[in-house]
């Protein structure tokens, strides 16, 4: 009896809270959604680039300062300093091929990971891919002398964030779902705390190391973390050389976690979606295998040669067009009166959301837009010569890396890693749908666009290790 009363009371409380919260929460109808590539081009690139240069600020908690990453910093000197250091330093070295040996090692680790799973009838590949990609990005970020246990810990925190985010966002709309997912939601709310726990010791130890050994890593790979620790950013609005300051440990943690997250999760999503399509379409897989195997004289150059394979490039583009790993590009816009098609930015501003999946599937641009058909990107196809990041002069056909002032700085590195990994996976293994159930192409739009049912595949080895 008492139990029933308690239950009734609890239920009443939950209903009251959900109604109360709905009434007090900031109304969400100030979000404008854009599906049309022409409107995206006008807003982000051609007409209103400056007004569309900020993302919404991250959530604040009372008494705590906002914690920024590059993607959330307001458009201005501090953002410019951190972003240009990233692009001018580690991402530039990546573009110049400085990390090809590391890529090759990571690809070999990936093959070893898949090989170890071959005994099972259907293999879930997501975590195997994540482990390999994460290992690579982590080496770029921390150098070689990071503790394997610390790394494992970081990888788990990231993966946990990734897994809970989609569920938490999906459950936001109804109180019943919120109630059902309370455990996951509580864990999700603790993400920042666990991030600090996982990253702070490494950041602090490296700072101590750098102050005692001036720039000392013996001429080896200079890790991204060192750049962050030595970087001086302008204070406030002053872009001059006079008032610059070092980043705090808490800030460095955010940039490190952004680097690891941005660098791995999108790649993992793209590789998983691509493998799903290759498993479903053996003729495309065979064509790709032939190209990869033929371009394979001297395996030493595998990472570099993967970059030049046109069909591989087309396959990756087709995957990014259909399943852009970052589902939405979001901007916080204050310029009242800008027209977005029929909608207008209201007084007080708006949050504008560009739906990348819709933009890539526009029927005005693409024939059979829902079809996975890499050939459309080859010479003479409707997607021939399409830019990864749309420029000033072209119409937008797809924008998986965003567009305008805040487009993704990791385009070249992301593409290089994806191609290197896919080439290796297709060269070594044959991919087929699982024994039972087929492949479910349903998407979930969370922090990344992921497969609702994580991919399971039947894998056979094509060649045996020499």
Q: Which residues, 6 or more positions from 230, have their beta carbon under 8 angstroms from its beta carbon?
A: 210, 246
Residue selected from 115, 217, 227, 453 as contacting ligand NAG according to rule CB under 6 A = 227
**Considering the rule CB under 6 A, would residue 408 count as an interface residue with ligand HEM?**
yes
Q: Which stretch binds ligand HEM (CB under 6 A): 30-38, 338-346, 365-373, 395-403?
A: 395-403
Pick between residue 45 and residue 203 the one whose CB is nearest to ligand HEM. 45
d(CA 398, CA 388): 8
- DSSP 8-state assignment for residue 120: S
How many residues bind ligand NAG (CB under 6 A)? The answer is 7
Q: Which stretch binds ligand HEM (CB under 6 A): 164-172, 323-331, 376-384, 421-429?
A: 323-331
386 touches 366 (CB < 8 A): no
Residue selected from 54, 69, 85, 171 as contacting ligand NAG according to rule CB under 6 A = 85
Residue 8: name its binding partner from ligand NAG, ligand HEM, none (Cβ under 5 to 8 Å by kind).
none
Q: What is the DSSP string of 152-215?
A: HHHHHHHHHHHHHHHHHHHGGG-HHHHHHTHHHHHHHHTHHHHHHHHHHHHHHHHHHHHHHSTT
Helix or strand (DSSP H, E) at 275: helix 249-280
**Considering the rule CB under 6 A, would residue 412 count as an interface residue with ligand HEM?**
no
Which parts of 338-377 interact with ligand NAG (CB under 6 A)?
A: none
Letters for 53-92 (x = contact with ligand HEM by CB under 6 A, - = none) are: -----------------xx-----------x---------
Pick between residue 42 and residue 266 the one whose CB is nearest to ligand HEM. 266
Residue 89: name its binding partner from ligand NAG, ligand HEM, none (Cβ under 5 to 8 Å by kind).
ligand NAG
**Measured from the CB of residue 227, what is the shortest distance to ligand NAG in angstroms?**
4
**Considering the rule CB under 6 A, would residue 414 count as an interface residue with ligand HEM?**
yes
Largest CA distance in the chain: 77
Pick between residue 54 and residue 85 the one whose CB is nearest to ligand NAG. 85
Residue 231: name its binding partner from ligand NAG, ligand HEM, none (Cβ under 5 to 8 Å by kind).
ligand NAG
**Considering the rule CB under 6 A, would residue 271 count as an interface residue with ligand NAG?**
no
Helix or strand (DSSP H, E) at 13: helix 2-24
Alpha helices in 25-147 (DSSP H): 37-41, 77-88, 90-95, 100-116, 126-142
Question: Cα angle at 272 between 268 and 274, to 5 degrees?
Answer: 120
445 touches 326 (CB < 8 A): no
**Considering the rule CB under 6 A, would residue 154 count as an interface residue with ligand HEM?**
no
Helix or strand (DSSP H, E) at 328: strand 328-333
**Considering the rule CB under 6 A, would residue 277 count as an interface residue with ligand HEM?**
no
Residue 85: name its binding partner from ligand NAG, ligand HEM, none (Cβ under 5 to 8 Å by kind).
ligand NAG
d(CA 8, CA 11): 5
Pick between residue 325 and residue 360 the one whose CB is nearest to ligand HEM. 325
200 touches 210 (CB < 8 A): no
Pick between residue 50 and residue 286 the one whose CB is nearest to ligand HEM. 50
Alpha-carbon distance values, 109 to 8, 103, 134 (Å): 54, 10, 11
Binding site for ligand NAG (CB under 6 A): 84-85, 88-89, 227, 230-231
Binding residues for ligand HEM, rule: CB under 6 A, are 70-71, 83, 258-259, 262-263, 266-267, 270, 325-326, 329, 400-404, 406-410, 413-414, 418
């Amino acid at each position: 009896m008492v139990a029933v009363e308690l239950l009734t009371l609890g239920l009443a409380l939950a209903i009251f809270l959900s109604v109360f919260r709905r009434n007090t929460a900031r109304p969400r109808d100030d979000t404008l959604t854009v599906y049309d590539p022409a409107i995206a081009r006008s807003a982000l690139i051609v007409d209103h680039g400056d007004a569309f240069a900020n993302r919404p600020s991250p959530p604040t908690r009372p008494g705590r300062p906002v914690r920024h990453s590059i993607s959330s910093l307001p458009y201005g000197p501090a953002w410019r300093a951190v972003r240009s250091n990233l692009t001018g330093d580690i991402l530039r070295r990546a573009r110049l091929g400085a990390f090809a040996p590391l890529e090759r090692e990571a690809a070999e680790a990936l093959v070893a990971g898949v090989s170890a799973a071959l005994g099972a009838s259907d293999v879930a590949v997501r975590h195997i891919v994540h482990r390999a990609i994460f290992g690579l990005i982590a080496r770029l970020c921390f150098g070689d002398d990071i503790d394997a246990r610390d790394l494992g810990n970081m990888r788990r925190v990231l993966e946990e964030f990734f897994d809970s985010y989609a569920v938490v966002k999906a459950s936001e709309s109804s109180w019943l779902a919120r109630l059902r997912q309370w455990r996951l939601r509580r864990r999700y709310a603790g993400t920042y705390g666990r991030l600090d726990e996982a990253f702070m010791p490494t950041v602090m130890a490296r700072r101590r190391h750098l102050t005692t050994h001036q720039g000392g890593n013996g001429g080896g790979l200079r890790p991204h973390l060192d750049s962050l620790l030595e970087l001086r950013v302008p204070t406030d609005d002053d872009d001059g050389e006079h008032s610059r300051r070092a980043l705090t440990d808490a800030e460095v943690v955010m940039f490190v976690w952004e680097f690891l997250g941005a660098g791995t999760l999108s790649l993992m999503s793209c590789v998983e979606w691509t493998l799903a399509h290759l498993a479903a379409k053996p003729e495309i897989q065979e064509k790709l295998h032939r190209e990869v195997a033929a371009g394979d004289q001297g395996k030493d150059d595998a990472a570099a040669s993967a970059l030049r394979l046109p069909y591989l490039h087309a396959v990756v583009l087709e995957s990014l067009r259909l399943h852009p790993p970052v589902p939405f590009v979001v901007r916080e816009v204050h310029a009242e009166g800008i027209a977005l098609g029929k909608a207008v930015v209201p007084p007080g501003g708006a949050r504008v959301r560009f739906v990348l999946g819709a933009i890539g599937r526009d029927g005005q641009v693409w024939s059979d837009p829902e079809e996975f058909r890499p050939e459309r990107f080859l010479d003479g196809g409707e997607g021939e010569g399409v830019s990864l990041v749309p420029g000033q002069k072209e119409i937008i056909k797809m924008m998986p890396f965003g567009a305008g002032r805040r487009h993704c700085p990791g385009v070249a590195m992301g593409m290089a890693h994806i191609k290197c990994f896919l080439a290796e996976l297709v060269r070594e293994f044959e991919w087929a749908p699982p024994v039972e159930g087929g492949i479910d192409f349903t998407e979930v739009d969370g922090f990344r666009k992921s497969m609702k049912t994580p991919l399971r595949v039947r894998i056979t080895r094509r060649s045996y290790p020499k």
